[in-house]
Chains A and B, each alone.
Chain A
Amino acid sequence: MRQILAIAHKEVLHIVRDLRSLIVAIVMPIFMVLLYGYAIDMEMRDLPVAILDQDNSPESRELISRTISSDFIVDVGRLEERDQIETGFRRKKWKAALIIPTGYGETLSRNENAEVQLLIDGADASTAQSVNTYLNAIINTLNQEMMFETTGKRMAAPIQPTIRYYFNPEMNSATFVVPGLTAVIMIMICALLTSIAVTREKETGTLEQILTSPIHPYQVMIGKVLPYMVISFVDAALVLVIGFVVFHVPMMGNWIALILYSIIYLFISLAFGLLVSAIANTQQVAMLLALLATMLPSLIISGFIFPLTSMPKILQWFAYITPATYYLRIIRGILLAGRSWFPLEGGFMVVMAIGLMVLAVGRFKSRLE
């Protein structure tokens, strides 16, 4: 135990001396959660729309005034001709254009259905989709109002849907983001720092010096990684605290369960870092490997941002060997849904932790011998 602490103390000195890396390790997660928490918003607002009125009748002006009085539409002015629309799309002046064709008013006054055109900038598919939904909704409301005005009685909609979002009733985006970020940051920081710390000693040759000393190799390893585990844990705690205090993320579940599963996850991250440092010979390689192997999958294919079920099968298989996929489900379950028992995900994580540890230690041993 004394030896382990001595090694850990030595490592802490290393960390404190290289203050910038420590600051990056601590400040980066804070920045990330603040930025992600504030910046990610699925809600569409301030949609710039241009209008081309080819009809210029009382009816068309009525439609225009009703459309632009909607809250989330920004009126960017009237167009003279069709050619202007695409120029505006290319210069990002507007995202959609409403075209009222000639004869619109006349058709309506004959009590026939009139068509209007919506041209939407489809480059960004998901934005275009919501723009379309919003604009259609505005015109639908308009139709209903007109129906009410002409018939004098409001017709009941045949089906009245009510929607309820469990576990996040206000659909607060930070509530999604904070648990996900905890998963990403923990594995990223832990794997990155441990792999660099070990490869640095390998590169400079000091690892061999320590290993020739009477200290047992296991003690060296444990002592070395201990401080980095602490830093990663502090990072995760910081992210969660900011989530609770700044973004009002709920904590519905059990603290003990959260800490327990987080420790298992931390062991996986650690084993990842050790495995990387067993493979890599230089810090540069270690860093690239650690980043590629942890940050990318945790961010992209864990289900954090992008829907897993939409991906090709082969990527879904990769998702099932990504530790963050499981931890993400667990931490969301604990924080938002108030669960505390995850036999499937927890079991996978334990298997992963043990497997990776054995692999990492095995590789190290064979290298040392």
Chain B
Amino acid sequence: MRVVFYLIQKEFRQIFRDHFQLRIILFVPLMMLLVLGNALILDLKNVDLAIVDLDHTAASRELIRSFYASDIFRPAKHEVVPSNVETSLQKGLVDMVVWIPEGYARNILRGESASVGIFVDGSNANTAGQGGAYALAIIQEQSTGILQEKMDKNPRLAKLFHTIKPISRFIYNPELKSRYYMIPGIVVMIITVISGLISGMGIVREKEMGTLEQLMVTPITSTQLILGKLLPSGILAFFDMGLAIIFATLVFKLTIVGSLWLLFLSTLLYLMVTLGVGLLASTLSQTQQQAMLTVWFFLVFGILTSGFFYPLENMPPFVQTLTVINPLRYFMSIMRGIFVKGVLFSDILPDLGMMTLQGIIVLGLAINRYTKTAK
């Protein structure tokens, strides 16, 4: 045990001496949180919308008002006239055009349908899908309002007719801020990157410099050596997690709903996976570059199929099946559950079990390979 302690001491001394690495350990989590916490927002705002109003009536102006009432749409700086709709969209001067034809108010008054055109720049994924849906919803709302007004004027119709009114309530996040869901994900990223990369790097650097062989000829056993290498990375990951959580609570006013005890337990179990992957990558690599590329390769795919950016349920079935082997997926779901929903131990047991199983396998494999190469 004393030996392991000395090794850990040596690791930390190395980290503190290398100012660059120290800075990365301290600033990367904060930067990630600050930048990603502000950037990974899927809520749409400030879409440049131009309205071509050929009707010029009170009714058409009412519709225009309802479009600009929310902060989703803002008036485009570029003026769109009937002849330049398509070129304006093509040049990216506007994101969306709403076309109110002549006779709009007249048709509504007569009880006929007034058509309104929505033209969306479909080359921009962000504004197209969500923006189009919002525009449709605004028109639908306007339409219902007009209908309701008409019915109120006609008591005979109103008496005959009844509707089902859905009342929606959003549990956990009544204001529907996507940030609350993204920040736990960013914390997962930070833990993964720091523990995975640093553990892998440390061993390969010693290999590259030849100091690993020097360590091996000392009476230190390989178990002690592995512990001495992995524990510091684990400690750093925990430190960074704490830093990120404190930062998130202060800057983004995020509160952790669930139990901190559960948070630490799941992180501890998850670290088995990341440290295992780091160690495995280091046994498979000769240079730091190779180790880094290998870890990074797994990282990119791990993140993509973790549900971080896009919900897993929307992915095609075969991709969903593939994600079963992705430990990030389980940890992502656990952390989000703890942060936002306050899940209980019994709720996350299946996810936790799968993750632990993977951790044991990966770490076991890595230690096995490591001791073999050491001999």
Cβ contact within 8 Å between B123 and A161? no
Cβ contact within 8 Å between B171 and A86? yes
Q: With the chains together, A161 CA to B340 CA distance in Å?
A: 37
Cβ contact within 8 Å between B337 and A171? no
Cβ contact within 8 Å between A150 and B160? yes
A112 at the interface (CB under 8 A from B): yes
Partner of A116, one of B45, B166, B296, B316: B166
Partner of A119, one of B35, B171, B205: B171
B129 partner residues in chain A, CB cutoff 8 A:
42, 171
Cβ contact within 8 Å between B20 and A166? no
Q: Which of B276-306 contact A (CB under 8 A)?
A: 287-290, 292-294, 296-297, 300-301, 304-305
Cβ contact within 8 Å between B162 and A112? yes
Partner of A157, one of B121, B143, B294: B143
Interface range, B side: 35 or more
Cβ contact within 8 Å between A121 and B172? yes
B229 at the interface (CB under 8 A from A): no
Cβ contact within 8 Å between B344 and A90? yes
- Chain B: which residue is nearest A200 at the CB level? B289
> Please, what's the 1-or-0 string for A261-286, where 1 marks a CB less than 8 Å from any CB in chain B?
00000000000000000000001110
Q: With the chains together, A169 CA to B296 CA distance in Å?
A: 36
Cβ contact within 8 Å between A159 and B120? no
- Name the segment of A2-10, A135-143, A354-362 touching the other chain: A135-143
Q: With the chains together, A123 CA to B157 CA distance in Å?
A: 41
Would A151 and B160 be within 8 Å (CB), given that A20-B290, A116-B167, A122-B170 are in contact?
yes
- Chain B: which residue is nearest A44 at the CB level? B314
Would A125 and B315 be within 8 Å (CB), given that A163-B135, A283-B289 are in contact?
no
Closest-CB distance, A234 to chain B (whole angstroms): 17
Please tell me the number of chain A residues within 8 Å of chain B, measured between CB atoms.
109
B4 at the interface (CB under 8 A from A): no
Closest-CB distance, A139 to chain B (whole angstroms): 5
Would A155 and B118 be within 8 Å (CB), given that A86-B171, A89-B341, A315-B39 are in contact?
no
Cβ contact within 8 Å between A31 and B136? no
Partner of A159, one of B119, B132, B143, B180: B143
B70 at the interface (CB under 8 A from A): no
A208 at the interface (CB under 8 A from B): no
A254 at the interface (CB under 8 A from B): no
Cβ contact within 8 Å between B90 and A339? yes
B48 partner residues in chain A, CB cutoff 8 A:
309
Would A284 and B38 be within 8 Å (CB), given that A119-B171, A142-B164, A336-B123 are in contact?
no
- Chain B: which residue is nearest A130 at the CB level? B133
B343 at the interface (CB under 8 A from A): yes
B211 at the interface (CB under 8 A from A): no
A288 at the interface (CB under 8 A from B): yes
Q: List 10 A-B contacts (CB under 8 A).
A: A39-B319, A41-B316, A116-B166, A158-B114, A159-B114, A165-B120, A168-B128, A291-B296, A307-B42, A309-B46
- The list of the 5 closest CB pairs from A to B, nearest first, reads A122-B170, A168-B122, A165-B122, A176-B125, A122-B173
Please report B residues at the A interface, Cβ cutoff 8 Å. 20, 24, 28, 35-36, 38-48, 63, 86, 89-92, 108, 111-129, 132-133, 135-137, 139-140, 142-143, 146-147, 150, 157, 159-174, 176-178, 180-181, 201, 205, 287-290, 292-294, 296-297, 300-301, 304-305, 309-311, 313-316, 319, 333, 336-337, 340-344, 347
Known A24-B297, A306-B39; 6 more pairs at CB < 8 Å: A39-B315, A136-B166, A142-B164, A160-B114, A161-B117, A300-B39
